[in-house]
Structure 1
Amino acid sequence: MKYLARSATGRPLLGDDEGYVPLAAAEPRAGTVRDALPLAAAGDLPSVDDAPAERVPTENLTFGPPLERFGKLWGIGLNYADHAGDLDEERPDEPASFTKPSTALTGPGGPIRLPPSEQSERVTAEAELGVLLGRECRSVATETVSDVVAGYLPVIDMTAEDVLRRNPRFLTRAKGYDTFLVVGPAIAIPDGSVDLSNATVTTTVNGEVAAENEVRNMLFPPAEIVSFHSEVATLRPGDLFSTGTPSAAPIEPGDEVRATVESIGSVSASVTGRRS
């Protein structure tokens, strides 16, 4: 597995399980992580071993969001039958998608800021598998989606659940508060094809597992989600799909939330006080 990331100061990095080197040292064609996304989708990123630079161990680095600017932020609701039951919703017969504003996105560590209590008193956090596009595409067949995907990352999605329960048409507002999407520190790029069907997606709050399920139990697998939405809109490098959560966990100020996607990575964020 290779990884694309950015340091907290914005320096582009290429890494593996042993550490990171400057991206430009390994791949002169890529001045930024965004430049490297098409190469990742094509399986054309070099090995970290080939870089004329010494690895810096992961534990010695502090990471920011892996992209300075993401593209479209797609979310998929009710993609596990169990979660549909939690919200008293019927199982959808096609992906139930929504988008988030760019201001909802924050990096590893957060913090997650809760809305004022007069707007929402119940916010939930949800671990999800994120799928990042590496090539511009339109009308992609499910079986060729891997040709346009750069990689994967863990994300934490938030919902003002009481807002959503008042009226399903309030979904954009319920999902769109600032800091309501935490992205993982690194884009995981498999060496060759990858089967994530047995990967477990886990939401942890204060060290306790709050929700857990496997990707194979999604109603709509990641490749099908990307293919479906490529018929709706042109997809471009940096577009991110949050593919749905096994279940949602209520969060309060002072909590620590972690999303873990087996074989991909994890991301955590602290929950601070409510915005005034």
Structure 2
Amino acid sequence: MKYIARAADGTPLLGDDDGFVPLNAADPALETVEDALAQAPDGLPSPADATAERVAAADLAFGFPLDQPGKLWGIGLNYADHAEDLDEVRPEEPASFIKPPSVAAGPDTPIRLPPADVTDRVTAEAELGVVLGRTCSNVPEDDFESVVAGFVPIIDMTSEDILERNPRFLTRAKSFDTFLVAGPYIAVPENVEEFFDQVAVRTVVNDEVVSENTLDGMLFKPPELLNYLSQSTTFQPGDIISTGTPGAGVIEDGDTARAEVEPITDLETDVVRQ
């Protein structure tokens, strides 16, 4: 599996399980993360052939993996167990919402809870994100791999007390700054079907597993989600579909939130109160 990333200083990176190199050291024609996204469906160069030595992931600080976040689509109640936990009726179609790019943060940025008088019950939700590599619309499920660049761990946040006051407040409840953390890198698997067979998602707060599930627990798999959403919107490189969470955990000032997304990696960040 190969990886696309941005260092905390903004340098685009290409990596594999042995480490990362500057993206343009692997291919001078690839100058930005978006360049790599567009090439990913056809295959990326090998970091082993780069003109720079690989640096281990543990020795790097990663930022948000995209130069410019695009549309950030979220999916609600997409795990059957989670819908049952919330006593919600299973949706017959994907329940979707969209978040502004201003919410996006990387592993180098803590989740910033708003003041308690604005919201005092925020949850963190681990999710698998689908990153688009090409402009597309009306995408058949069989064409999923031809337009998707890769997959990224995500921590999505919800202000539950705001949402409970009125379900029409969903956009506000989801749109505070830093309420979507993604990273540390985008995974580009060689075989997407085999990758899907290995996917497991866990929401972890302070090292305690709050919930976990596999792709088999989804009501709507990623190709179905892209097919459905692309019927009403045109997707562009850097857009992300966050495919839903197996369950949410309440977070407070001083906590640590983690999304464990196999077989990619863990995404962990601190929680602070503004």
TM-score under structure 2 length normalisation: 0.97
Please state how far the C-alpha of 1:215 moved relative to its aligned partner.
1.2
Let me know the Cα RMSD of the aligned residues. 1.1
Report the equivalent of 2:243: 243
Q: Using the alignment, how far apart are the partners of 2:185 and 2:80 within structure 1? A: 29
Please state how far the C-alpha of 1:42 moved relative to its aligned partner.
2.0
Q: Does 1:217 align with 2:217?
A: yes
Runs of 4+ in 1 over 3 A off after TM superposition: 192-195
Please state how far the C-alpha of 1:197 moved relative to its aligned partner.
3.8
Q: Using the alignment, how far apart are the partners of 1:178 and 1:38 within structure 2? A: 28
Q: Do the aligned residues in 2 keep the contact of 1:198 with 1:216 (CA within 8 Å)?
A: no
SS of the counterpart of 2:142? helix
Q: Using the alignment, how far apart are the partners of 2:149 and 2:142 within structure 1? A: 15
Report the equivalent of 1:17: 17
Report the equivalent of 2:101: 102
Task: Decide whether aligned partners of structure 1 residues 193 and 246 sit closer, same or farther in structure 2, where only a CA change above 3 A counts.
Answer: closer
Q: Using the alignment, how far apart are the partners of 1:198 and 1:158 within structure 2? A: 25
Report the equivalent of 1:269: 269
Report the equivalent of 2:134: 135
Report the equivalent of 2:62: 63
Query: Which residues in structure 2 correspond to 1:182-193 (within 5 Å)?
Result: 182-193=181-192
Q: Using the alignment, how far apart are the partners of 2:197 and 2:110 within structure 1? A: 30
Report the equivalent of 1:155: 154
Q: Using the alignment, how far apart are the partners of 2:127 and 2:225 within structure 1? A: 14
SS of the counterpart of 1:143? helix
Q: Using the alignment, how far apart are the partners of 1:268 and 1:135 within structure 2? A: 28
Q: Does 1:199 align with 2:219?
A: no
Q: Using the alignment, how far apart are the partners of 1:85 and 1:60 within structure 2? A: 42
Report the more deviating stretch, 45-54 or 98-107: 45-54
Please state how far the C-alpha of 1:151 moved relative to its aligned partner.
0.3
Task: Decide whether aligned partners of structure 1 residues 53 and 183 sit closer, same or farther in structure 2, where only a CA change above 3 A counts.
Answer: same
SS of the counterpart of 1:35? helix
Q: Do the aligned residues in 2 keep the contact of 1:109 with 1:268 (CA within 8 Å)?
A: no
Report the equivalent of 1:78: 77
Report the more deviating stretch, 62-71 or 194-203: 194-203
The C-alpha deviation readout for 1:200-235, integer Å capped at 9, x for no partner, is: 100111111111111111010011101111101011
SS of the counterpart of 1:155? strand
Q: Which runs of 5+ in 1 are unaligned?
A: none
Query: What is the number of residues matched between the two proteins?
Result: 273
Report the equivalent of 1:234: 234
Report the more deviating stretch, 72-81 or 105-114: 105-114
> Which amino acid is the alignment partner of residue 86 of structure 2?
L
Q: Using the alignment, how far apart are the partners of 1:97 and 1:157 within structure 2? A: 14
Q: Using the alignment, how far apart are the partners of 1:235 and 1:198 within structure 2? A: 26
Report the equivalent of 1:256: 256
Q: Using the alignment, how far apart are the partners of 2:147 and 2:83 within structure 1? A: 29
Please state how far the C-alpha of 1:50 moved relative to its aligned partner.
1.4
Q: Using the alignment, how far apart are the partners of 1:82 and 1:41 within structure 2? A: 32
The C-alpha deviation readout for 1:151-203, integer Å capped at 9, x for no partner, is: 00100000001111221111101111111000011010012333314421001
% identity of equivalent residues: 58
> Which amino acid is the alignment partner of residue 71 of structure 1?
G
Q: Using the alignment, how far apart are the partners of 2:29 and 2:246 within structure 1? A: 39
The C-alpha deviation readout for 1:223-272, integer Å capped at 9, x for no partner, is: 11011111010111000010000011011100000001111222111000
The C-alpha deviation readout for 1:77-135, integer Å capped at 9, x for no partner, is: 01012222333321110010000111111111431111222221111000000000001
SS of the counterpart of 2:272? strand
Q: Using the alignment, how far apart are the partners of 1:214 and 1:199 within structure 2? A: 6
Q: Using the alignment, how far apart are the partners of 2:253 and 2:233 within structure 1? A: 37
Q: Using the alignment, how far apart are the partners of 2:42 and 2:160 within structure 1? A: 39
The C-alpha deviation readout for 1:29-59, integer Å capped at 9, x for no partner, is: 210111111100222x111111122111211
Report the equivalent of 1:113: 112
Q: Using the alignment, how far apart are the partners of 1:213 and 1:113 within structure 2? A: 27
Q: Using the alignment, how far apart are the partners of 1:137 and 1:224 within structure 2? A: 15
